[in-house]
Amino acid sequence: MKLLWLLLVATLAACSFSGGPAEDVTVTIAYKVLEVYPQSRRVLITCDIPEAPRPVTYSLVASRGVLVAKRVVHDYKPASFNINITLKSSPDLLTYSCQAASNLGTYGPSSRLRMYSELWAKPVSQLQTDVTLYDGDSGPTVNLSCLASSGSPPITYHLVGDDGRVHAQQRPLHGEPATFSIPLSQMSGWFQCQAANGISANSSARILLPPGDLLPLIPTCILAGSLISIAAISAGVLSSSRL
């Protein structure tokens, strides 16, 4: 009976040591560009964990936990995922990680693979701005929109004053403009839009926004285009006030 008890204790101890994955076992992720097209790339992403017993179920996961695909591997080769990536893809869909599971438990996630910076390392260029003036709740208000025609996402836009102070920043979805709302009763002077993506930065021309009390009070008056229109209105009001 004593021998049987010792065998039972030994069996339970062995099970407790092998009941889960080792803490130092990690899932690796890698990629290779297979085809290059003007607006897209065909990419091979591989996931691997050689230490786990087979079979292993690999999961390719995008950011926010979105499951892209699964593969069951019975040998010791990495799992391969063939995907297409376009320039219009959201940055959320261009960040991947790998997870794995075997009969011992789950592993991962791996480090994150940021495909948008790996595949399209383009500097910010061709920064375009557009201005609309309207009568808002706080009086005359300007909407300044900024959009870089080229550049790797994510792109962060800043509204910068003449003294170099950053008044606001936005990081819109790739391909969409940042729009800054500026109440002229609270902010006026020279401003410019700056865009940066970790590779380079680009600035627009300086834009003069006159104080709100110098503008004609026209309800929902919209002036699209350059700031020259706003400056012209300001100059006209100033000249008429001197007569």
Q: Where are the domains of the chain?
A: 22-119, 125-237
**CA-to-CA dists, residue 80 to 41, 43, 99, 143, 158, angstroms:** 16, 10, 13, 47, 40
Buried b (16+ CB within 10 A) or exposed e, 209-228: bbebebbeeeeeeebeeebe
Residue with tokens 């401003």: 191
Residue 133 has pLDDT above 60, yes or no: yes
Over 70: is that where the pLDDT of 123 sits? yes
Mean pLDDT of 132-137: 87
The band of 151, judged by pLDDT with boundaries at 50, 70 and 90, is confident
Query: Which fold would CATH assign to domain 125-237?
Result: Immunoglobulin-like (2.60.40)
Mean confidence (pLDDT) of the chain: 78
Q: How far apart are CA 230 and CA 101, in angstroms?
A: 62
Compare 237 and 182 and report the one with higher pLDDT. Answer: 182
User: Is 125-237 the same fold as 22-119?
Assistant: yes
Q: What is the pLDDT of residue 107?
A: 96
Whether residue 230 has pLDDT greater than 90: no
- Of the two residues 24 and 54, the one the predictor is more confident about is 54
In sign, the C-alpha dihedral spanning 80, 86, 89, 95 is: positive
CA pair distance 204, 217, nearest whole angstrom = 28
Over 90: is that where the pLDDT of 229 sits?
no
For residue 166, the tally of other CB atoms under 10 A from its CB is 10
What is the structure's pLDDT at 220? 37
Q: List, in order, residues 6 or more apart from 93 with CB less than 8 Å away.
A: 62, 63, 66
Q: Tell me, what's the pLDDT at 130? A: 94
CATH code of the region 22-119: 2.60.40.10
pLDDT digits (tens, 9 = 90+) for 161-203: 999 999 999 998 878 999 999 999 899 899 999 999 878 999 9
Q: How confident is the model at residue 228 (pLDDT cuts 50, 70, 90)?
A: very low
At 237 the pLDDT is 38
- Lookup: tokens for 159: 């509204």
The pLDDT-based confidence of 87 (bands split at 50, 70, 90) is: low
Average pLDDT over residues 85-95: 71
What is the rounded CA–CA span in Å between residue 57 and residue 109?
A: 13
Range with the poorest average pLDDT among 69-78, 95-104, 149-158: 149-158
